[in-house]
Amino acid sequence: MKVLWGLGKLLTLLFWLVVLVNLLVPFSYPLHPLVNLAGGFLAFIHLLEVLLCNRSVKWRAHPWLDRLKIVIFGVFHLQTIPAPATSKASHA
């Protein structure tokens, strides 16, 4: 699974590179607004993920770095964060 999460991160980074290039040197007409729209939508989704998953990164060693990675990579970074250990009482 680590390979898939790494590939997802790489593809997400390539997408952000395409969005950045589109902002600096706009593509031809049909692609320019579509890439901007897709980039804005993905940025909105990733910011929403940061807000919803704030509790899972709050107690990590570098929470702001994790939040930045979530803004960039989204769910691909969230899947690499280990789940917090919960203590469950046994009912004997």
pLDDT (tens digit per residue) in 28-84: 999 999 999 999 999 999 999 999 988 888 888 999 999 999 999 999 998 888 776
> How far apart are alpha carbons 37 and 6 in whole angstroms?
25
Q: Residue 12 has what pLDDT?
A: 96
Rounded to 10 deg, the angle between the 63-73 and 31-52 helix axes is: 150
- Residue showing tokens 């890439």: 35
Under a CB-based contact definition with an 8 Å cutoff, are residues 71 and 46 in contact? yes
Q: Residue 80 has what pLDDT?
A: 84
The structure's pTM equals 0.81
Under a CB-based contact definition with an 8 Å cutoff, are residues 72 and 64 in contact? no
State residue 83 phi and psi, 5-degree precision: -70, 140
